[in-house]
C-alpha cells in the first residue's frame, strides 16, 4: 500500500495544493492508502442547510433530490454542496483499515461508526440510493467512503438507535460549544430553537444557565413554538422570522427589559439571519453562529454597521469530547431523547 498524507492532501485533484475540504474535486477511487480507512456506507446525514437547498431546487421530489446528490458526488468526488458549501456526515461499517493504522487505532473491520468530519471533504461513492427521509435529510445508500488518518469518528453506541445517534452526532458541536459559552445566570437567545441543533442547544443552555438564567427560544411557526413550550426549557418562546432582524430586536428587547442576551446561538438553516443574531446580543456579548447558512461577511460588516461590539464565533463543529458529551446529554434527558426518537426512529 502507498502512504498518503494524514490530512488527505494526496486525494486533491483540483485545484492542486489546496486541502480536501475547499478543493473543487477530490479522488474518490476506493483503493485505500496505508493510512486510510475504507467504509461501507449505510446512511448519509446531509447537512440541514444543504438538504434544504437541494430539496427546494428539486421541488421536494425524492427521486430528483437523489439524482441531484449523485451529480454532486460524480462531479466533485464528495458530497460538497456548491451552493451552501456544506456536506453532512455518515454512518457505515469498517471494511478495511490501512496497514499503517492497523493496531494503532481502535478500529477493525466490522466496526460500525459515525464519521465526525464533513462529507465536504470525505471521498465518497454512491452506487444506489435505497431510501430517503425528506423531512430529516437522512439518506440510506449503497456506497463507500474513505476516512483519512486525521479523520474523527465515534463508534455507534449500542443502546441508542442508529438514526437517533446519527442525528445527535451530526450536530454534536453545537451543545458542546454551548456548554463552554454559557455561564450560570446568563441570558441566552437561541435562534432556530426547534430544529435538530437548536433543540440540543436549548437543552444544554437551560442546564448551563441554571435556574437564575433566562433562556429565550426563537422559532418560526406556532406549531414549533408550542412544542418548545411543552419542553419547558425556555422561559420565553417567540414566534419570529429570523430574516426580519428588526422584529427579532424588538421582541428580545421586550423579553429582556432592554438588557439583551449575554450569548446568542444561531441554529437557523436558511440565509440572512446574521443581523437578528447580532442585534439580539448586548455589547461585549457573544454570538455563536452554528448555522452553515451564515455569511460571515454579512455578520462582520453588519456588526460594524450598527456599532455592535460583540464577539462572533464561527460554528466549528469540533470541540474536544463533543461526541460523548452530546450523547450523554441525550442519555440524561428523557425529554430530549423522546424528541429525537419520535423524529428519527
- 38 pLDDT band (50/70/90 cuts)? very high
- Domains defined for the chain, CATH in brackets: 9-156 (no CATH), 173-344 (3.40.50.720)
Q: What's the whole-model pTM score? A: 0.86
Q: What is the pLDDT of residues 234-248, one digit of tens each?
A: 999 999 999 999 999
Could you give the angle at which helices 196-209 and 222-231 cross, rounded to 10 degrees? 40
* C-beta of residue 139 within 8 angstroms of C-beta of residue 46: yes
- 319 pLDDT band (50/70/90 cuts)? confident
Q: What is the pLDDT of residues 154-193, one digit of tens each?
A: 999 989 999 999 999 989 999 999 999 999 999 999 999 9
For the chain, give the mean pLDDT. Answer: 96
Pairing of strands 88-97, 37-46: antiparallel
pLDDT over 90 at 57, yes or no: yes
- Of the candidates 158, 160, 204, the one whose C-alpha atom is nearest the C-alpha of residue 183 is 204
Long-range contacts of 2-9, Cβ-Cβ distance < 8 Å, separation of 24 or more: 2/33, 2/34, 3/33, 3/34, 3/35, 3/100, 4/33, 4/34, 4/35, 4/36, 4/148, 4/149, 6/35, 6/148, 6/149, 6/150, 7/148, 7/149, 7/150, 8/121, 8/123, 8/146, 8/148, 8/150
pLDDT over 90 at 139, yes or no: yes
Query: According to the model, what pLDDT value does residue 93 have?
Result: 98
* Integer Cα distance of 10 and 307 in angstroms: 45
* Integer Cα distance of 195 and 208 in angstroms: 20
- Residues 6+ away with beta carbon under 8 Å from 253: 260
Quickly tell me which residue has 462531479 as its cell. 75
* Integer Cα distance of 223 and 330 in angstroms: 23
Query: According to the model, what pLDDT value does residue 317 have?
Result: 79
Q: What is the pLDDT of residues 60-112, one digit of tens each?
A: 999 999 999 999 999 999 999 999 999 999 999 999 999 999 999 999 999 99
Query: According to the model, what pLDDT value does residue 298 have?
Result: 96
- 1 pLDDT band (50/70/90 cuts)? confident
Mean pLDDT of 46-70: 96
Amino acid at each position: 500500500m502507498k502512504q498518503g498524507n494524514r490530512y488527505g492532501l494526496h486525494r486533491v485533484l483540483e485545484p492542486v495544493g489546496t486541502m480536501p475540504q475547499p478543493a473543487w474535486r477530490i479522488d474518490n477511487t476506493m483503493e485505500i492508502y496505508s493510512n486510510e480507512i475504507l467504509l461501507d456506507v449505510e446512511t448519509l446525514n446531509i447537512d440541514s442547510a444543504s438538504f434544504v437547498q437541494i430539496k427546494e431546487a428539486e421541488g421536494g421530489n425524492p427521486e430528483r433530490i437523489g439524482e441531484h446528490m449523485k451529480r454532486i458526488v460524480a462531479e466533485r468526488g464528495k458530497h460538497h454542496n456548491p451552493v451552501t458549501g456544506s456536506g453532512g456526515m455518515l454512518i457505515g461499517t469498517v471494511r478495511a483499515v490501512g496497514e499503517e493504522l492497523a493496531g494503532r487505532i481502535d478500529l477493525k473491520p466490522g466496526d460500525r461508526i459515525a464519521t465526525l468530519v464533513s462529507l465536504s471533504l470525505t471521498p465518497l461513492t454512491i452506487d444506489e440510493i435505497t431510501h430517503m427521509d425528506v423531512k430529516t435529510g437522512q439518506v440510506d445508500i449503497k456506497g463507500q467512503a474513505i476516512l483519512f488518518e486525521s479523520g474523527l469518528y465515534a463508534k455507534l453506541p449500542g443502546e441508542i438507535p442508529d438514526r437517533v445517534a446519527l442525528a445527535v452526532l451530526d450536530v454534536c458541536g453545537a451543545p458542546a460549544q454551548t456548554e463552554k459559552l454559557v455561564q450560570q445566570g446568563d441570558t441566552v437567545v437561541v435562534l432556530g430553537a426547534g430544529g435538530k441543533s437548536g433543540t440540543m442547544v436549548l437543552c444544554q443552555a437551560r442546564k448551563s444557565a441554571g435556574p437564575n438564567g433566562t433562556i429565550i427560544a426563537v422559532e418560526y411557526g406556532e406549531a414549533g413554538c408550542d412544542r418548545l413550550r411543552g419542553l419547558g426549557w425556555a422561559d420565553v418562546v417567540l414566534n419570529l422570522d429570523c430574516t426580519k432582524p428588526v422584529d427579532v430586536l424588538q421582541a428580545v428587547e421586550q423579553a429582556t427589559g432592554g438588557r439583551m442576551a449575554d450569548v446568542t446561538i444561531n441554529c437557523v438553516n436558511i440565509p440572512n439571519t446574521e443581523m437578528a443574531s447580532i442585534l439580539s446580543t448586548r455589547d461585549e456579548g457573544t454570538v455563536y453562529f452554528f448555522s452553515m447558512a451564515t455569511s460571515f461577511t454579512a455578520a462582520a460588516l453588519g456588526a460594524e454597521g450598527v456599532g455592535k461590539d460583540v464577539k462572533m464565533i464561527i460554528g466549528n463543529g469540533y470541540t474536544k469530547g463533543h461526541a460523548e458529551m452530546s450523547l450523554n446529554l441525550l442519555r440524561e434527558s428523557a425529554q430530549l431523547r423522546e424528541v429525537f426518537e419520535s423524529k428519527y426512529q
